[in-house]
């Protein structure tokens, strides 16, 4: 079983749609959680951290359920520029390495 | 303020050869981590350097080795290249001991033929 598992995708949605990505992680000792965005043939960039209470950044909302070891990302009012691969990322309690999911590809269609 | 820089951007090597990739961390950062990203996969952790020592290592063979210099820059060396080593190699810099954002370089795309 992979340490971080994501929806395989791809997701193709029209502009203005709401889309949700899900992710589960296996290491219950994990302490930090993130969503990264990676554009085609570019490096990953931090989209947002994920907190236990849930957090929002504009059109993006992230949720964490520690009991279920489940992370989600909701994108509202999708824009063409949101087209990218979204990577679910977990950092362990003592390990400072980032563990990435395989990513979910999103294409927003005009 | 320069971000994380990696060189070269692209590289083609033959099976069995050795390769060295280079990374300069973001100004003010002291920790460098290396990741391998195969096509269609997320990045996988190779190892991490702080104070010129390897601090953590992922599930990669000894063919993968590294070094960190006093100026915090780092090298990744891969010996006896295999076709399966073809990937995007990413360097990430951060501050040791703080749960701060890791910044990635643009990566080196290695192709082994």
Sort out which chain A residues have CB atoms less than 8 A from B102's CB and list them. 46, 98
pLDDT at residue B112, as a whole number: 98
User: Are the CB atoms for B82 and A27 separated by under 8 Å?
Assistant: no
pLDDT tens digits along A19-62: 999 999 999 888 899 999 999 989 999 999 999 888 999 999 99
Distant-in-sequence contacts of B27-31, Cβ < 8 A, 24+ apart: B27/B1, B27/B2, B28/B95, B29/B72, B29/B93, B29/B94, B29/B95, B29/B103, B30/B72, B30/B95, B30/B96, B31/A96, B31/B55, B31/B93, B31/B94, B31/B95, B31/B96
Per-residue confidence band for A7, with pLDDT thresholds at 50, 70 and 90: confident
pLDDT at residue A41, as a whole number: 86
Sort out which chain B residues have CB atoms less than 8 A from A100's CB and list them. 35, 42-44
By mean pLDDT, which of A36-45, A93-102, B34-43, B89-98 is the weakest?
A93-102
Alpha-carbon distance of A14 to A21, in angstroms, equals 16
Percent of chain A at pLDDT > 90 equals: 78
Alpha-carbon distance of A47 to A35, in angstroms, equals 5
Min distance B5 CA to chain A CA atoms (Å):
11
**CA-nearest residue of chain B to A105?**
B40
Hey, are the CB atoms on B104 and A95 less than 8 Å from each other?
Answer: no
pLDDT tens digits along A75-85: 999 999 999 99
Hey, are the CB atoms on A98 and B92 less than 8 Å from each other?
Answer: yes
Sort out which chain A residues have CB atoms less than 8 A from B36's CB and list them. none
């Amino acid at each position: 079983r992979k340490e971080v598992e994501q929806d395989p995708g791809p997701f193709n949605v029209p502009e203005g749609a709401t889309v949700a990505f899900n992710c589960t992680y296996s290491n219950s000792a994990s302490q930090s959680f993130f969503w990264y965005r990676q554009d085609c043939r570019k490096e990953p960039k931090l989209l947002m951290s994920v907190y236990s209470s849930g957090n929002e950044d504009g059109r993006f909302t992230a949720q964490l359920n520690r009991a279920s070891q489940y992370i989600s990302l909701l994108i509202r009012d999708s824009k063409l520029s949101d087209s990218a691969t979204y990577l679910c990322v977990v950092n362990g309690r003592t390990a400072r390495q980032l563990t990435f999911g395989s990513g979910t590809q999103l294409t927003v269609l005009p | 303020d320069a971000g994380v820089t990696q060189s070269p951007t692209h590289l083609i090597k033959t099976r069995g050869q050795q390769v060295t990739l280079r990374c300069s961390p973001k100004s003010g950062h002291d920790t460098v981590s290396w990741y391998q990203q195969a096509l269609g996969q997320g990045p996988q952790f190779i190892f991490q350097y702080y104070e010129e020592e390897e601090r953590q290592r992922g599930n990669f063979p000894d063919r993968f080795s590294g070094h960190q210099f006093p100026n915090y820059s780092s090298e990744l060396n891969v010996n006896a290249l295999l076709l399966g080593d073809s990937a995007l190699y990413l360097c990430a810099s951060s501050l040791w001991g703080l749960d701060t954002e890791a910044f990635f370089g643009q990566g080196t795309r290695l192709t082994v033929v």
